[in-house]
Structure 1
Amino acid sequence: MHAGRLTSNPFHIAFCLAIALLLAGCAGKSTPGGSYSGSTYTVKRGDTLSRISRITGTSVKDLASMNGISPPYTIEVGQRLKVNGSEASASSGKTSTKTAKVTPSSAVPQSSWPPVGQRCWRWPTSGKVIMGYSTSDGGNKGIDIAGSRGQPIYAAGAGKVVYVGNQLRGYGNLIMIKHSEDYITAYAHNDTMLVNNGQNVKAGQKIATMGSSDADSVRLHFQLRYRATAIDPLRYLPPQGSAPKC
């Protein structure tokens, strides 16, 4: 499923792009191996409740409640967590994994990623990057930026909003912007969303405020996608606090 080859129907575009993004997040369901049995999950190094939520299909709120985890939601390597092992979750996982093979996150190999400077990108917000991009199976397909609730979130480039909603488990309040036939950006875990489907936005325009929807702390999960493939945003963003030089 390539973003640049979709029908011009905006509702179909929004649906297909949302599903493509969901598949990338859920592709990791096959990676935990024996660590995820369907009813329990064993914490690995680098795991957060947000990532475990994406892998198991269990909301962050349910994970915390089922396992007696309180803020700041600290978990330890080797800890066994109860998860929702329902048939619906299992079925969803199977479907996602099967479809993800058609459009894996590595559909465009790193050697074929676009050159730096091909397009101008702006930082969607300011703050410390608390989780970087990973090419590993089930790894983070974007960057997570910490901040304070209500902090402004900006469009990384000019484009058209193709998805505004919270139907994708693990992403909370999500916005996706299509910038061209090749590029899409995604902004997850928002508090308030200030744009609508089909709206044209300018680079640097405020589109949301930072929150913790479906996340274990206040943050922005930001993805940059090239031909439906998630690529490393840090490779293309200017230094924080600097304006793009292209």
Structure 2
Amino acid sequence: MLTLMLAGCSGSKSGSDGSYSGSVYTVQRGDTLSKISRMTGTSVRDLARMNGISPPYTIEIGQKLKVNGSSSSGKKSSSKGKTAKVTPSYAVPQSSWPPVGQRCWVWPASGKVIAPYSTSEGGNKGIDIAAARGTPVYASGAGKVVYVGDQLRGYGNLIMIKHGEDYITAYAHNDTLLVNNGQNVKAGQKIATMGSTGANAVALHFQIRYRATAIDPQRYLPAQGSKPKC
């Protein structure tokens, strides 16, 4: 399974190796889960599981990751004693989610929400919108396309759009893809058509991620069929 890393979502060159003390690793520019795995001796699967990293698998510079700490290849701190438990920077608690109206979002597609967002472990980290094959899929906000492809198993033809420094939206299971990586898009611009790639039925899986945490899209979207009031 491809682990798609969008550290800062930029094309900068990799910087120096990150550092870790005991069981906590600090993400540096250019890091990927594969690179961190090699440095710390923690498998990619364990990194994702231990840190609650779910598709679309984003990490951020400065993020604290739990690791097994069994490798001696990384730069370790000379401090002694137990490492304090650190809450990863991407794990934004629901009480700290951004206020409604901070950004204007539009519905990414017309249709019925057949699977809402869930906070339970392993639950749906977005919403699933069902409609006829070929239904237009729209950018929920203005931004830059940072991923177009089908290499994330279970997500089919996927588009990811970055909106400023804090937000990323994801659009999965598309049929036709109408944008390219690196392209700037406007809110409401048609970016794809609905399909069933990587799924058993025609539907759009849509996510809004705030600082890499998947938040409830329906909390921020306007009522279906209406325009945002912000």
User: Structure 1 residue 220 and structure 2 residue 204: aligned?
Assistant: yes
- Asked if 2 retains the 8 angstrom alpha-carbon contact of 1:5 and 1:181, the reply is no
Matches within 5 A, 1:53-92: none
Among 8, 13, 17, the alignment partner of 2:10 is 8
Instruction: Compare the two structures and name the one with the higher strand fraction.
Output: 2
Percent identity between matched residues is: 73
Q: What corresponds to 2:107 in structure 1?
A: 123
- Asked if 2 retains the 8 angstrom alpha-carbon contact of 1:105 and 1:230, the reply is no
TM-score, with normalisation over the residues of structure 1? 0.63
- Structure 1 gaps of 5+ residues are 21-90
Q: Deviations over 1:23-47 (max 9, x none)?
A: xxxxxxxxxxxxxxxxxxxxxxxxx
Q: Which amino acid aligns with 2:184?
A: N
Instruction: Compare the two structures and name the one with the higher helix fraction.
Output: 1
Among 97, 100, 103, the alignment partner of 2:52 is 100
Matches within 5 A, 1:1-246: 6=8, 8-9=10-11, 93-100=45-52, 102=65, 107-246=91-230
Q: Deviations over 1:48-104 (max 9, x none)?
A: xxxxxxxxxxxxxxxxxxxxxxxxxxxxxxxxxxxxxxxxxxx76445314537387
**SS at the partner of 2:165?**
coil
- Asked if 2 retains the 8 angstrom alpha-carbon contact of 1:123 and 1:240, the reply is yes
Residue 193 of structure 1: CA displacement? 0.4
- Asked if 2 retains the 8 angstrom alpha-carbon contact of 1:4 and 1:227, the reply is no
Q: What corresponds to 1:73 in structure 2?
A: none
- Asked if 2 retains the 8 angstrom alpha-carbon contact of 1:183 and 1:227, the reply is yes
- Asked if 1 retains the 8 angstrom alpha-carbon contact of 2:90 and 2:212, the reply is no
Backbone CA RMSD of aligned residues: 2.7
Determine the C-alpha separation between the residues in 1 that align with 2:136 and 2:106.
13
- Asked if 2 retains the 8 angstrom alpha-carbon contact of 1:133 and 1:143, the reply is yes
TM-score, with normalisation over the residues of structure 2? 0.67
**SS at the partner of 2:170?**
strand
Matched pairs, number: 169
Determine the C-alpha separation between the residues in 2 that align with 1:127 and 1:209.
13
Determine the C-alpha separation between the residues in 1 that align with 2:182 and 2:114.
31
Residue 6 of structure 1: CA displacement? 1.8
Higher RCO (C-alpha under 8 Å, 6+ residues apart): 1
Q: Which amino acid aligns with 1:199?
A: Q
**SS at the partner of 2:95?**
helix
